Amino acid sequence: MTSAIDTNVYTDMQGLAQLRQQVRAEGDERSPETLRKVAGQFEAMFVQQILKTMRESCLNEGLMDNDQSRLYQGMFDQQIALEMSRGQGLGLSDMLVRQLGGDSAANAEPRVREPADPFLVPAMAARRPVSLAYGQHRPAALDAAPPADAVSGCSGVPLNDVRQNDVLGDTPVREWRPASQKEFITDLWPHAESAARKLGVDPKVLLAQAALETGWGQHIMQRRDGSSSHNLFGIKADGRWSGDQVNHRTVEFRHGVLQREQASFRAYASPGRSLADYAEFIRNNPRYEDALGSDDPHRYVMELQRAGYATDPAYGRKIMNIYNSDEFQYAVAAAQYQQRQAATEAQEVSVVDAQPNSMPAQNTPQNSPLWDSPPRDSIDVASLYAGEG
């Protein structure tokens, strides 16, 4: 063992016991170090169970398989599980630490990781440090802009879904957390279209930027009461912002060095309001004039980066990695198809409602030959028997 509570070899049976004794001695069961080590042990057990299930799923045994070989194979798998859970591991321990310790544990032990390219696969956005998802390195002096007081935030054609009006409209919403990338795109699509029309850009690039900033909606800053701030683009608040705001720690690149800072960010009643305010923020800020009206998504994000929207030198590239991914394009196509279907259904309903009594002429009794003759009570019955004798 390298330390009193490191269990780097599967045969070390005292690691957990020593960890338990140390926690009792220190009296702090929720310290970041303790949570990290316990989460690592749980991740090792999880990986070991995966390997065990994988071995058991093999139906055929080799000629050399026997009880002894399976024993050593199990010992080897246990050691593999420990090695795989060390360091960054599978990301399970990071999630456990955030759930067990909350933001305090995440902030107490910074774990800023920048892989070669963590956003080649959009699903990895959820594994990046939570602090990086909040306001991707905003310079406070550069992000000051007049508030969008006149913005309604609900223009665009909503999907044929009650959830659109309740969750993404002007009605205040406490929490919005999409269950998948497809749901993230579907929920925001009509509002992204509205914002994109104001900016003259592709709505997909706005969604890709929001996905980067929020980890696909999974890491949105929260207010003190635990409700969501719905800040999808990490726009900071200054003295000219009269709306709600939330304070949170963020990471900024200063002279090429990552630094943790405390900053105030804008808070909105709903994600739809956030998209509307983003459009006004970009359109009313002279710094981003070169980015407006750009049909090329790559040019748009690069102009934003050049103008100082984010201090991360790879900010534009990360957005385009999400934009060009197959998962993102599939989610956008699904959202567009659902919107077209909803529009078609709404149009059919409106046509039927506009003509509720319309029926084919040949089926109306007024035009039937049976109604061409006078009513029976007006017929001269005596004439029917005339000439009989």
Catalytic residues: 252, 277
* Number of domains, the chain: 2
Answer whether residue 371 is part of any domain.
no
User: 333 and 195, same structural domain?
Assistant: yes
Dihedral of CA atoms 67, 69, 74, 75 in degrees, nearest 10, equals 120
User: 314 and 213, same structural domain?
Assistant: yes
User: 128 and 104, same structural domain?
Assistant: no
State the average pLDDT over residues 224-235: 89
Report CA torsion sign: 350, 352, 357, 359. Answer: positive
State the average pLDDT over residues 246-272: 80
Which residue, 108, 139, 170, sits at the end of a domain? 108
State the average pLDDT over residues 220-226: 87
User: 136 and 104, same structural domain?
Assistant: no
pLDDT band at 41, cuts 50/70/90?
A: confident
User: 35 and 95, same structural domain?
Assistant: yes
Give residue 343's pLDDT: 80
Answer whether residue 260 is part of any domain.
yes
Rg of the chain over Cα atoms, rounded to whole angstroms, equals 32
> Both tokens of residue 341?
């279907």
State the average pLDDT over residues 289-317: 91
Residue 156, pLDDT > 90, answer no
Give residue 114's pLDDT: 39
pLDDT band at 208, cuts 50/70/90?
A: very high
State the average pLDDT over residues 238-258: 77
pLDDT band at 175, cuts 50/70/90?
A: confident
State the average pLDDT over residues 37-54: 80
Query: How far is 319 from 315, CA to CA, in rounded Å?
Result: 6
Nearest-CA neighbor of 315 among 299, 297, 301, 329?
301
Cβ atoms within 10 Å, residue 369: 6
**What is the rounded average pLDDT for all residues in the chain?**
71
Residue 263, pLDDT > 90, answer no
Which residue, 337, 365, 383, sits at the end of a domain? 337
State the average pLDDT over residues 321-327: 93
User: 130 and 95, same structural domain?
Assistant: no
User: 54 and 126, same structural domain?
Assistant: no
Answer whether residue 384 is part of any domain.
no
Answer whether residue 344 is part of any domain.
no
User: 185 and 103, same structural domain?
Assistant: no
Answer whether residue 370 is part of any domain.
no
User: 232 and 150, same structural domain?
Assistant: yes
pLDDT band at 64, cuts 50/70/90?
A: confident
User: 145 and 275, same structural domain?
Assistant: yes
User: pTM for this one?
Assistant: 0.50
Answer whether residue 113 is part of any domain.
no
Give residue 88's pLDDT: 64
Q: Which is more confident, 139 or 33?
A: 33
pLDDT digits (tens, 9 = 90+) for 70-129: 788 788 888 887 777 776 667 777 777 777 764 443 444 333 333 334 333 344 344 333
Give residue 250's pLDDT: 76
Which residue, 108, 140, 169, sits at the end of a domain? 108
Instruction: Give the CATH number, domain containing residue 210.
Output: 1.10.530.10
User: 202 and 263, same structural domain?
Assistant: yes
Give residue 157's pLDDT: 37
Domain of residue 283 covers 122-337
Asked if 56 contacts 101 with a C-beta cutoff of 8 angstroms, the reply is: no
Answer whether residue 227 is part of any domain.
yes
State the average pLDDT over residues 188-209: 94
pLDDT band at 280, cuts 50/70/90?
A: very high
User: 135 and 80, same structural domain?
Assistant: no
Cβ-count burial 284-309 (b if 16+ within 10 Å, e if not): ebebbeebeebeebeebbbbbbebeb
Answer whether residue 32 is part of any domain.
yes
